[in-house]
Every structure is written in C-alpha cells, then in structure tokens.
Amino acid sequence: MSLLSQFQQLDTCLTNTRDFWQRVAFDHLTLPFSVQLNQFLLSLDDDEVARLDADQARLYDVFSDYIPSVDLLAGLTALPYNEKTRSVLPFWLSNGIKGRKLTQLQDFVSHVPEQQLPVLEWCAGKGHLGRLMAHLGAPSVHSIELQSALCEQGAHSAKQQELNVHFSCANVLTDDTNAYFKPQQHAVALHACGALHQTFMHRATAHQCEKISLSPCCYHLFTEPTYQPMSEAAKHSALHLSHSDMKLALQETVTAAPRIATVRRKEVTWRLGFDALRRDCTGSTEYISVPSVNKSIFSGDFSSFCCWAAAQKDITLPSDIDYAAYLEQGEQRKRVTDRIELVRHVFRRALEIWLVLDRGLYLQQAGYDVSLSEFCEKQLTPRNVLIQATRQ
C-alpha cells in the first residue's frame, strides 16, 4: 500500500469515528456513548480496563463489535519491524547511558547505519546518538543542542573518546540554523518534539540533504493550538486536531512503576473530587484544570489538596464540607473517565500513524523516497516509528 493510500484510508476511518476519540474525558459526568457500548464499559471492572488498555491488539478486537471501522485499524496502523543485530559497544562509550535509553539508541543506530556521509544530529542533548554513529563509522558528526552545558559535556566526552564529533549550541526554533545543513549529509533526529522535528524536516528538505532519518515525538509541543498539516493530503483532511487530540497519540506508554501508577490514580481521583466540589461551590458545569503540583501533596489528605486547589482558582470554600462524599464522587468520576479514555485509546496508534504519514507524505512531496518502520519493540518505547527518506 502506498503512503497516500494508507493515509487516505486512515483519514476516512478517523473522520468517521470522531465522536469516539475526539473528546476530553474530564468534561463528562457520565458515559457519552451508545447504550450498548456504555453497558459494556460499565460491565468491566477496573482490572479488566487496565489489562485492555495495555493491549492495543485486544482493544481493536474487543471494540470492533461496538465501533464502526475498528476492524480496519490493525492493518492500517501496521508498520514493518525488521530486527537488527545490536552492535556491541565498549564500556567507555555506553557508560552513563541508562539501560533502556542505551538499547533504544542501539536499535535506532542499527537501522540508520552511516559510514560515508557526514551526520547532522538534531536536538542532540549530550550527543549520545552522534557518538554511537561516529564510533560505528560515520566520518564526522555535527551535533546541534540548545543547552550549552550539554554541549560542553558532549564535546568533552567526544574528545576523551577520540571521536570526530563537534557541537553547536543553538535554539533551533529561533536561531538561523541553515548553515548547518548540506546536500551531502545524513540528517538524524531521535525523539525531537513537535515543532523541533518539523523545523528539522523543513531545513533538511530545503537544503536537499541526501538522507533524513527521524523518530518523531510529542507532536503537540511548541506548535500552534490547532494542528498545522505538513502534506497536501493532510491539508485537505476534514480533521482538525487540537493539542488534546495530538496528546492522544502519545498515550500508549510503557507500564509505569507500581508506586508511580498508584500516585497517578490518586491524583486523578483527587482532581475529579475537587472538580465536583468546585462545581457545587461555583455553579459551573465545565471541567476546569488545576495547575500541576509537586506529587508530595498526594501523600497528605484530600481536604488539604482541596484547600490548595481552591486557592489556585480563587475559590472560597465553605466550612462544612463533607470531604469523604466528594472523594467518593471523585472515585466514581474516575471510573467514567477511565472508560472514556479506554475508548479513545482504541485510536491512539491510529492517530499517531496519521501524523507520521503526514510527515512521510511531506518528504515525498519534497522529492524523497520514504519508508516507515518500527526501529525497536514497544516495550522499549512506544515512540518507535522511524521515518527514513533518501533524496531521489
């Protein structure tokens, strides 16, 4: 299937199912779907919801009985994964890179080997990726990074390791980075967020870099409130994506540690419990978010959290609040939001692949042969899509 055909079919599917995924779960006090689907969702206990949420294939299978076109999603979102042999790295090169991150880097490098062209590494951090590519044969690497401290650390490591890597400190969204891009070059970007990787693509195609390899991430960051399509096909789509919609594409995650998951459950429950209290105090019928806060607040009690949250929103609370009752409302609301999110999560990979295909089609329009694949297993990172483009 061509990228355009895949995009058009996926676009049609997502457009026809907008009522299921284009929602903000916290806005709803009750389940908003059909009677049949609502009954099924309420029949699931919390453990079943969690198990389903962790298994995208089962989500497709289970919800195909309730939502049209879901049976097409597995095929439309499938990307090839060709497992590559990871190069054995010397201790001095891998030292200081945490285990899962190191494996991601090894898998990424195994899919984008370079021994002929100079490499441009975008949003490089300490330059771990660039140093791996230099060690494995890239003739030179130019690493671009915002934070000067990271540039200094990366340059120091490269010098110690006798690798041909040099750094430039730049804000890639505001500085003129055109001079860094050259036609005879392999431009790479691993997990550059939102406008960071879009700017990278614009610059690399404008300067006709011979090869472009990237794994996009966090599609909403540093971007306009409404998604600005890159390809002509996406510009003609009926979909209009908000930041909330784009965040849905990121909600397939590697399982969090039990302690982190427990705190997260308590945080959501308390925020929803406070929302019920706020609605009663103000007469508001809309969900209003409360700012982020240090997680230590959730080791206290619910009443203290409510007092803090009320202060953030300039709300004066009455003295005779039944906090236990509002906490119970929070727990009931969480059951509703979890089940709305479960339905939305049926489409999370589909939305991510829609965004990836928009990028692939943009590169095709710019005169590149483009392939999409997965460079590692989802257990390492769900952001495992690799876009590779070679100038025609």
pLDDT band of residue 40 (cuts 50, 70, 90) is very high
> 253 versus 146: which is more confidently predicted?
146
What pLDDT digit, counting tens, does each position of 335-378 carry? 999 999 999 999 999 999 999 999 999 999 999 999 999 999 99
Distance between CA 216 and CA 193 in Å, rounded?
Answer: 6
Give me the pLDDT at residue 256, please: 66
CA distance 335 to 76: 30
- pLDDT tens-digit readout, 283-301: 999 999 999 999 999 999 9
Non-local (6+) Cβ contacts of 360 within 8 A are 3, 231, 370, 372, 387, 389
**Looking at residue 255, what is its pLDDT?**
61
**Residue 351 structure tokens:** 């939305």
pLDDT in tens, 98-108: 888 999 999 99
pLDDT reported for residue 98: 86
pLDDT in tens, 66-92: 999 999 999 999 999 988 999 889 999
pLDDT over 80 at 254, yes or no: no
Report all structural domains of the chain as residue ranges with CATH numbers, in order of start: 23-68+256-346 (no CATH), 91-249+348-391 (3.40.50.150)
Write phi, then psi, for 346 (nearest 5 degrees): -55, -30
- What is the pLDDT confidence band of residue 319, given thresholds at 50, 70 and 90? very high
Virtual CA dihedral for 369, 372, 375, 379, nearest 10 degrees? 170
pLDDT at 259: 85
Distances (CA, A) of 270 to 67, 262, 307, 324, 337: 31, 12, 12, 11, 13
For 236-259, what is the mean pLDDT? 88
Q: What percent of the chain has pLDDT over 90?
A: 94
Helical residues (DSSP H) of the chain, grouped into ranges? 3-16, 18-21, 35-43, 46-53, 56-63, 70-77, 91-94, 99-111, 128-135, 148-160, 195-206, 232-235, 243-248, 258-282, 302-312, 323-345, 348-365
Query: By C-alpha distance, which of 183, 104, 188, 101 is closest to 142?
Result: 188
Residue that the structure tokens 């390899």 belong to: 213
CA distance 282 to 299: 27
Determine contact, residues 189/122, Cβ cutoff 8 Å.
yes
